Structure formats: C-alpha cells, structure tokens
Amino acid sequence: MAIQIWQDAPQFTLVSTDLKQVSLADFKGQKVILHFFPMAFTGTCTEQLCTMRDDFGFYEGINAQVFGISVDSPFTLAKFKEEQKYQFPLLSDFNKEVSEAYGALYNEFFFGMKGVSKRAAFVIDENQQVIYAEVLEDANELPNFAAIKEKLQ
C-alpha cells in the first residue's frame, strides 16, 4: 500500500553497517530522510547517495537524520559506505519488511531478481509523520532532491 502524506511513518528497526540496531522511534523530535535504493555499487544508486553525501552539510545544518536503506546485507553496505565515504548510516532491510511497509519493493526487478527495494525517498517530520513520499517505478530515475529540501525548510 502506498504511503500517504501526513500518515504516521511505519516504524522499523534495522541493522546498520556498524552491526547495531537502529530504530526510527529513536529519532522522534528530529526530521528524518529515508533513501531507499535497489543495490549497492550500481550507478544510479551510487549517484543517489553521493548526491546526499555531497550536500550533507545542508541536512546536518538543519539537524536532519539521513538514512540509506536497501535489501543488501550490512556487510555489503559497509563496504559501499566505506568506498563512497558516506557520512550517514546505511541500513540493511535484508528481510524486505521495511521496503514493503513503505511501498518501495519491486516484486520483480531486472534479470528476474525478486524483492529488491525501489528507489524512493521519504521525509518524516519531528512527530514521525510522513511529509514527503516519492516512490519511483523506474530504477534509472533519481528522487527530486529539490522537493525534498523544500519540505525540510
């Protein structure tokens, strides 16, 4: 089911690249940006997260927490994070539950792969309500970064 603006954000706890559990509930009182991406080490996914990396000062300056989420293992994501020097946590949705809860899961992806996160972006406000939702069907497209920033200001 598609996420609607002003609905309560689906809660989750996922494993980070540091092998620690991270819960959305821990960030109540702070804006949160979730970037779902299909697969680490692929071109458009790298571009999506590098855009966030390169503009990280903006998000840090408004005390917003950024997360990247994919169905990759935490070990794969740790190597991806290290190589790309991401300053924000990458979270493993290996069991696909969070991607599904946010309506951001391909039933079938390229080459017959099933259960891969769609490219998507969500902004969650301090009360943990969704104030921006964008789920892309075409994995070659990028989220609207300008719209995301506008919702945060």
- Give the separation between CA 145 and CA 104, rounded to whole angstroms: 18
Of the chain, the end-to-end C-alpha distance in Å amounts to 28
Active site residue 50: no
- Give the separation between CA 48 and CA 149, rounded to whole angstroms: 14
From the candidates 9, 45, 77, 130, which is the catalytic residue? 45
- Give the separation between CA 30 and CA 48, rounded to whole angstroms: 22
Q: Please give the structure tokens belonging to residue 127.
A: 């009360």
Question: If DSSP states are collapsed to H, E and C, what string results for 17-65?
Answer: CCCCEEEHHHHCCCCEEEEECCCCCCHHHHHHHHHHHHCHHHHHHCCCE
Task: Please name the residue ranges forming H helices in 70-116.
Answer: 74-84, 97-101
User: Looking at the annotation, which residues are catalytic?
Assistant: 45
